[in-house]
Amino acid sequence: MFSPPGPWSIPGTFVGVTFLLVIVAYDRAGWRTHLQSAAFSTVVAFSIVLTIGFPLELVFSRDRAYLLASALSENPYAIAERLLREPAQAQSFSDVPPVVLAAVWIVAALVVYRLDRRRFAIAGRQDIMTDTKSPQEHHQEDDALVVAYPDPLKRFEFLYGNLSILDTKASSLMGFNAIGLAALAVWLEYVPPNFLHASLDIVFLLFLGSSAVCFYVVQVVWRVPSTEGNELRVVRDQRTSLYRISWWVSLSAVFVFVLVSLGHTACTVARAFGSVSDPCSGFCSEKVWGNRESGSACK
C-alpha cells in the first residue's frame, strides 16, 4: 500500500517517518481516555513498524547483497519486477516472519501507551493508567468519599479493603495464567515449527503479558499516605486499571486459544474419520496445522 510490492524497502521507511512526524506535529495538549490512548499508541506502533521494516528485512534476508543493490538502484521497482517474472511457487515477498512484525507492533504499542499515560501524569492532567474520568470527576469522587466516611481512619480502611480485593483478584488471574502457560508448554513439545506453533506462541506471550501486568497490581510499596487519603484513591484507581488491562489480555489469550483448539480438533476429527487423503499435505498436515507425527516420513 505504501511502497512497491516485495520485501520491505527504503520508501516504506520514508513513509513511516512521515507518519510519525505528522502524528507528533498534530498531537495537541489535553487529556485522553484509555481508548484514545490505545488508538494513539497503535497508530504510532504501526508507523514504527513501517520505519524499521527495511532494517528488519536486512536482518532476516537470505540475500542481503541483492536486497541492498535493488534498494539502492535507480529503479525502486527492481525487486517487484523480479517477483513478477518468477513463478508463483518461487516468490518470496518478505523474509521477515509475520510473528516478528506482530511482536514489534504489540511491544511498540504497549511502550507508547505507557509513555502517553505518563506524559499526562507529569503534566498533572491525569494519573498514570487511570480510568476515563476527568480530573473534575476525581475531585468529586474524593468529596464523596469524605461525605461517606468523615473519619479518615474509616476512609483508609475502605480504600485498603479495595486494594486487598484487587490483590486477591490479581493473584487468582496469575494462577489461571500459570495453568494456561503450563498447558501450552506441554502442547508445544509435540508441535513442529508451523502455523499452529506460531499461534500457540502468540497465546503464550499473551498469558505472559497478562501475568507481567499483574505484578504491578500486587507490588508492595510502603509509604506514609496523605491525611486526605487522595493518594490511596489514586493507587487504587491505577491498580484497578492495570488489573482490567491484564484481564482483557488474558481474555484475548483464551479467545485465541479456543480458536486454535477448535481448528486443531477439526483436523483431528477429519483425520480420525479418514477425511484427510494425504497426511503430509494440506491444512491439517504437520507442516501447517498438525502435531509432530511419530515416525513421520513427511519431508
Q: What is the Cα–Cα distance from 266 to 128, expressed in whole angstroms?
A: 44
pLDDT the model gives residue 64: 56
Percent of the chain with pLDDT over 90: 15
Helix axes 34-60, 98-122, angle to 10 degrees: 140
Q: What is the DSSP letter of 105?
A: H
Statement: the pTM of the whole predicted model exceeds 0.85: no
Residue pLDDT, tens place only, 179-214: 999 999 998 888 887 888 888 888 999 999 999 999
Residue pLDDT, tens place only, 248-281: 999 999 998 998 888 888 888 887 777 766 656 5
pLDDT the model gives residue 23: 87
Quick one: CA dihedral 76, 82, 84, 89, positive or negative?
A: negative
Q: Where along the chain do its domains lie?
A: 1-126, 134-299
Mean pLDDT, rounded, of the chain: 76
- Confidence band, pLDDT 50/70/90 cuts, at residue 10: confident
